[in-house]
């Protein structure tokens, strides 16, 4: 029987593979296990999500973060006050992979094309070519980092840690900026934590954020409002609905969905980061960055202050912690024929029930499914909603074929 190809070995790809296998569906899984966490996030990072919201979902018991801690002899991470080091989370993901997907293939998929009679033709960078009856795209953050034009202006050849401007996804070791003047652009957890870690490694760091009071931190668990329902992201009705009723999301009007996917759970530092930030990092809140140039090879930001005045800020380097944007055009492995058949909305795939796209047999999960299934798809805990539904849909389509 032709296998299902799962492209991606981060939390979503591994979880989808676990659910498909549990239904007896043959699966081939491709990618570097947990590479986004290991290579594209800073060393020493702590997860913003709580332990209960950081499980990679599996159909069989024994695969939670706590199970991993027990087996690895690590302290149990259980309460909302237990903070997960990224190194522990990478270890958890790799352990999950070895238990459930031991035959993971650490190769890249270079192309996926539809076959005339149904099914898909895949090419791997190993040179192998094979046919799959269905494809699950779980490529997560890969290739989706976003650099706004006012920062891109300084780096016509693209961002780079060795040049004037880089993207936060290009960093793992921030010690290279020790003793340097660093500007970090952004106000999300990634910006604030990158700034703190670089400052703790000896850089002089300023965070440049758009808008008054844009640098803010969440409430600690003991100060969360008690009369609102609990969700993996904190206590709030909206967060509860997005977490447990993600299935209704795709029925909202498109403009509302795109707005909510961007704005809900938007920029906010974790409660435990505030003190470290205030000790070491300076925040510059501005109306906007107008453009970025270079002077003697050093980046210079031209800004408009909150009061409307023009200002310049120079540094040795700028890190743009400006996030990620889903755009199918960035998934270069999707063949032109397939791309032309995909129904999209603002560059994102329009998905139906069970995460299937408009091309039968082609599924998208994780961040790529965010505009259809909501902001929870940007986080690991979304695997609990996504994976059983995706596997259930694929299994039913398989039975009906
Ligand atoms: C700085 C930062 C901090 C974060 N902190 C948290 C947090 O605390 N909690 C939380 O829930 N979420 C957090 N997130 C979001 C988190 O990254 C995502 O929820 C999660 O990684 C998504 O998992 P994924 O499996 O979809 O993709 P990824 O983890 O990005 O994995 C992508 C996989 O696709 C593979 N791949 C890509 N292209 C190909 C190809 N052509 N062929 C084969 N394989 C391919 C890669 O090798 C990799 O295995 C954070 C994100 C960032 C940037």
Task: Say whether both 91 and 168 belong to one domain.
Answer: no
Task: Return the best residue to mutate from 80, 330, 380 for the ligand 1 pocket (most ligand atoms within 8 A of CB).
Answer: 380
**Is residue 293 a part of any domain in this protein?**
yes
pLDDT in tens, 96-147: 999 999 999 999 999 999 999 889 999 999 999 999 999 999 999 999 999 9
Q: Whose CA is nearest to atom 19 of ligand 1?
A: 379
- Its sign, for the CA torsion 247, 249, 254, 257, is negative
**Is residue 46 a part of any domain in this protein?**
yes
**Is residue 55 a part of any domain in this protein?**
yes
**Is residue 96 a part of any domain in this protein?**
yes
**Is residue 255 a part of any domain in this protein?**
no
Count up the domains in the chain and report the number.
Answer: 2
Q: What is the largest CA-CA distance in the chain?
A: 66
Rounded distance from Cα 294 to ligand 1 centre (Å)? 32
Q: Which atom of ligand 1 is nearest to the CA of 380?
A: 11
Task: Say whether both 137 and 159 belong to one domain.
Answer: no
Q: Whose CA is nearest to atom 33 of ligand 1?
A: 8
Q: Is 358 helix (H, G, I), strand (E, B) or coil?
A: coil
Domain boundary, last residue among 301, 320, 339: 320
Task: Say whether both 76 and 116 belong to one domain.
Answer: yes
pLDDT tens digits in sequence order for the chain, 401 residues long: 799 999 999 999 999 999 999 999 999 999 999 999 999 999 999 999 889 889 999 999 999 999 999 999 999 988 888 999 999 999 999 999 999 999 999 999 999 999 998 899 999 999 999 999 999 999 999 999 999 999 999 999 999 999 999 999 999 999 999 999 999 999 999 999 999 999 999 999 999 999 888 888 988 877 766 656 666 666 666 677 777 777 887 888 888 877 776 666 667 889 999 999 999 999 999 999 999 999 998 999 999 999 999 999 999 999 999 999 999 999 999 999 999 999 998 899 999 999 999 999 999 999 999 989 988 898 999 999 999 999 999 999 877 66
Task: Say whether both 177 and 98 belong to one domain.
Answer: no
Q: Whose CA is nearest to atom 10 of ligand 1?
A: 379
Domain boundary, last residue among 320, 336, 353: 320
Q: Rounded to whole angstroms, how far apart are CA atoms 282 and 176?
A: 20
Rounded distance from Cα 298 to ligand 1 centre (Å)? 31
Task: Say whether both 82 and 213 belong to one domain.
Answer: no
Per-residue exposure over 244-254, b if at least 16 CB sit within 10 Å of its own CB, e if not: eebeebbeeee
**Is residue 290 a part of any domain in this protein?**
yes
Task: Say whether both 204 and 291 belong to one domain.
Answer: yes
Task: Say whether both 59 and 183 belong to one domain.
Answer: no
Task: Say whether both 159 and 71 belong to one domain.
Answer: no
Q: With CA atoms as reference, report the closest residue to 23 among 369, 348, 282, 398.
A: 398
Q: Which atom of ligand 1 is nearest to the CA of 139?
A: 34
Q: With CA atoms as reference, report the closest residue to 390 among 60, 1, 6.
A: 6
**Is residue 259 a part of any domain in this protein?**
no
Task: Say whether both 205 and 175 belong to one domain.
Answer: yes
pLDDT in tens, 342-391: 999 889 999 999 999 999 999 999 999 998 998 889 899 999 999 999 99
CATH number of domain containing 295: 3.50.50.60
Q: Rounded to whole angstroms, how far apart are CA atoms 145 and 321?
A: 9
Structural domain including 210 reads 149-218+268-320
Per-residue exposure over 219-229, b if at least 16 CB sit within 10 Å of its own CB, e if not: eeeeeeeeeee
**Is residue 98 a part of any domain in this protein?**
yes
Task: Return the best residue to mutate from 84, 142, 218, 232 for the ligand 1 pocket (most ligand atoms within 8 A of CB).
Answer: 142
Domain boundary, last residue among 288, 304, 320: 320
Q: Whose CA is nearest to atom 50 of ligand 1?
A: 379
Q: Which atom of ligand 1 is nearest to the CA of 46?
A: 8
Ligand 1: lining residues by beta carbon, under 6 Å: 7-13, 30-32, 35-36, 41, 47-49, 108-109, 138-142, 190, 333, 366-367, 378-381
Task: Say whether both 338 and 367 belong to one domain.
Answer: yes
Q: Whose CA is nearest to atom 31 of ligand 1?
A: 10
Q: Rounded to whole angstroms, how far apart are CA atoms 335 and 332?
A: 8
Q: With CA atoms as reference, report the closest residue to 355 among 85, 12, 90.
A: 12
Rounded distance from Cα 212 to ligand 1 centre (Å)? 31
Rounded distance from Cα 140 to ligand 1 centre (Å)? 5
């Amino acid at each position: 029987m032709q296998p299902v190809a799962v492209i991606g070995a981060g939390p979503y790809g591994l979880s989808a593979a676990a659910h498909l296998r549990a239904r007896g569906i043959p699966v081939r899984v491709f990618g570097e296990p947990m590479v986004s966490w290991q290579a594209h996030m800073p060393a020493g990072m702590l997860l913003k999500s709580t332990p209960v919201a950081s499980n990679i979902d599996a159909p069989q018991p024994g695969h939670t973060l706590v199970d991993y801690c027990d087996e690895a002899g690590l302290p149990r991470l259980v309460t909302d006050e237990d903070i997960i080091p990224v190194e522990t989370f990478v270890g958890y993901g790799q352990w999950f992979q070895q238990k459930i997907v031991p035959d993971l293939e650490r190769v890249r998929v270079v192309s996926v094309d539809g076959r005339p009679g149904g099914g898909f033709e895949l090419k791997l960078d190993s040179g192998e070519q094979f046919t799959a009856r269905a494809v699950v795209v779980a490529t997560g953050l890969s290739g989706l980092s976003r650099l706004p034009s006012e920062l891109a202006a300084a780096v016509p050849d693209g961002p780079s840690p060795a040049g004037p401007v880089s993207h936060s996804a290009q960093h793992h070791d921030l010690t290279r900026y020790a003793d340097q003047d660093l500007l970090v652009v952004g106000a999300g957890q990634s910006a604030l934590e990158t700034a703190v870690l670089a400052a703790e490694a000896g850089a002089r760091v300023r965070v440049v954020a758009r808008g008054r009071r844009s640098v803010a931190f969440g409430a600690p668990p003991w100060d969360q409002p008690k009369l609102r329902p609990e969700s993996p992201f904190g206590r709030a009705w909206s967060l509860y609905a997005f977490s447990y009723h993600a299935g209704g999301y795709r029925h909202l009007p498109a403009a509302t969905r795109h707005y909510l996917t961007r704005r809900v759970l938007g920029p906010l530092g974790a409660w435990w980061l505030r003190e470290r930030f205030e000790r070491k990092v300076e925040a510059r809140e501005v109306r906007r960055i107008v453009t970025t140039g270079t002077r003697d090879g050093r980046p210079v930001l031209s800004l408009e202050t909150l009061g409307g005045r023009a200002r310049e800020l120079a540094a040795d380097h700028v890190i743009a912690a400006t996030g990620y944007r889903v755009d199918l055009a960035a998934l270069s492995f999707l063949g032109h024929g397939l791309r032309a058949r995909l129904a999209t909305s603002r560059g994102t795939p329009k998905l139906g029930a069970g995460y299937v796209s408009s091309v039968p047999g082609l599924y998208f999960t994780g961040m790529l499914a965010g505009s259809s299934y909501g902001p929870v798809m940007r986080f690991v805990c979304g695997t609990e909603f996504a994976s059983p539904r995706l596997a259930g849909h694929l299994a039913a389509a398989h039975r009906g074929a």
